[in-house]
Amino acid sequence: MPTLLRSGPYRVYITSHDRGEPPHVHVDREKFSAKFWLGPVRLSYNLGYPARELRAIEKMLSDRETELEEDWNAYFST
């Protein structure tokens, strides 16, 4: 599970078994987890994050969306 970004308490990563899906990232913090689609950034599922924190995570991902999509494409093109 390659980590694409660490920001504050968040680990943003992708998993190899996600190859057949559209570009997305997983975001974990402690016992919380969420999945966000890229292009545009939007929530797929949430396990425990409060709505306020999800909005902050979505902004963080949106600010880095191009980089994250490039990382996704680079990982799955090999």
Query: pLDDT digits over 14-35, tens only?
Result: 999 988 899 999 999 999 999 9
Q: Residue 78: is its pLDDT beyond 80?
A: no
For the chain, the helix, strand and coil percentages under 3-state DSSP, each to the nearest 5: 35, 35, 30
pLDDT given for residue 19 in this prediction: 86
User: Mean pLDDT, the chain, as a whole number?
Assistant: 96
Report domain extents, the chain. Answer: 3-76
Residue 40's pLDDT is 96
Cβ atoms of 23 and 37 within 8 Å: the answer is: yes
| pLDDT score of 6 more than 90 | yes
Give yes or no for residue 3 having a pLDDT over 80: yes
